[in-house]
Structure 1
Amino acid sequence: MAYEEIFELNGEKIKTTVTYYPKDILNHLSSFLLPSINHQTKLIGFDAEWLVHYHSPKCATIQLCDGNSCLIIQLNCFESNHSDLEKHEARKSLVNFLNLPNITFVGVGIKENLARLEKHYGIGCKNAVELGPLAATVMNMPQLSLCGVDELAFVVNGFDLQDHRPVTLSYDYADYRLSKELVKVATVNVYSYHKIGVKLLTRTCKCCYR
C-alpha cells in the first residue's frame, strides 16, 4: 500500500506519498486539483527517475509536487502488479492530468523526461516549462540555461540543497519500498522545481502562482 514521509524543507513541512496503487494515484491527483488561491493557474513540479541497470528504458518513478505535498508514483512497480484495466485507467488519468490547460508543469530536464515517457508509455504533457532556460531569460543570466537544480535553487531562491543530499546513497529506485533517504532526495528535487518555478513565473507576470 501507499506510505507517507514528512520532511521539513526551508522551514516548510512537506508530506510525500509513495505508491504504485491506482486508487492512491487517482486520489492524490484529485487533491492536486483543489482550487488554488484566487483560482489562478497552478504550478506543479515534475520529475522522473529511470532504472539504471543495463540502460533500461523503463521509468522507475514519476514525481509531482504542488508545494504542499508530493506524490511519487512507482511506475515500474505499478506496471507489474495490476491488471491491464487498472493500468489503463490510472495511466489515462495521469495523462489527462498532465494535459490540463490550467496547470503548468516545471522541472529540470522535463522535456527529455516527457519525451521518453511519451515514447515508451504514451504519457505526454502539453504545458511543460524547462527551468534552466526560463531562469536564464528571466534573470538575464545566460549561464543558468544549462544549470541543474542545486545551482538554480541557490541563485533563484537562495536555497542550499547540499544539506539534504546524503554523501553515500545508492540512487536505485527499483525497490518496492524506497528508503527514506531516497524519498527525501526525490522530494527535495521536485519541491525545489516548484519553488523555482513560482519565483521565476511571478517575475514574468502580475498574477500569483501558488
Structure 2
Amino acid sequence: MSAVEPCILVVEDEPAQREVLVYNLEAQGFRVAAAENGDEALLLAAEENPDLILLDWMLPEVSGIEVCRRLRSRSETRGIPVIMLSARSEEVDRVRGLETGADDYIVKPFSLAELIARIKGLLRRTRPASMGAVLEFEDIRLDGETHRVTRGGRQVQLGPTEFRLLSALMERPGRVWSREKILDRVWGRDIYVDTRTVDVHVGRLRKALKAEGEEDPIRTVRGAGYSLG
C-alpha cells in the first residue's frame, strides 16, 4: 500500500465492532491504527498523527467526549478531523458532540457504506490529493487521479516519491513540514529512511519544478524543514 494513503485511527472498546471497522477500512485501502480506550487513543493520536479519527463516545474511564476535548486542546492534534460514533441519538447529544469539537456525528447502528462516504467526504477536504482531487498552487497543477503535474502549462515529470512529496506540500501550502513529518507522510512509519533522504528528494522535486527563468516554489526554513510558498 502506498505510504500516501490516509491513516485512520479507530477508537472503539468493543472488540467485535473494532475488528469490523478495521477490516472494512483496510479493504477500502486506508492505513488503520486501533485503540480500545481513551488513554491509548490520545497516545496513538500523538504518535501516529492520523488523518482522521473514528471515536466512540462510550469508552471506559476516559469518555470519547473527553478524548475529543483533549485532542482539540493540543496543538499537535487539534487539526485532526474527528467522527464521533454513538448510540446516543438525541439532538442534545449530537450538539454536545459537535460543540466539543467533533466534525461529524454518526448514530449507532450505522451503515458501513454511509460511514465510508462520510470519511471520504471529510478526507476530500483535508487530504484532497489522496482522494483523487485536483490541487492548484500559483501556476502548479496536480491531478491526484491521473498523477499528472503541470507548471505554467508544461508537463512536469515526477517519480512516485516526488509526486507524494508534492501532494503533501500542496495540500497544506504555507505549512512548514519537518523532515520527520515528511518521512511519516511520504514513506510511512513502517519503512526506515534517513532524514537526509528527504533533502535528496526535495532537491529532485525542485529541479523538476524549476525550469529556466522560473522561481523555486519550495522554501527552506532553516532548522525547521520545508514549505510550499
Alignment TM-score > 0.5, same fold:
no
Identify the TM-score tier after normalising by the shorter chain.
0.3 to 0.5
Higher helix proportion (structure 1 or 2)? 1
Which one has the largest radius of gyration?
2
Greater relative contact order, per chain length (Cα 8 Å cut-off, separation 6+)? 1
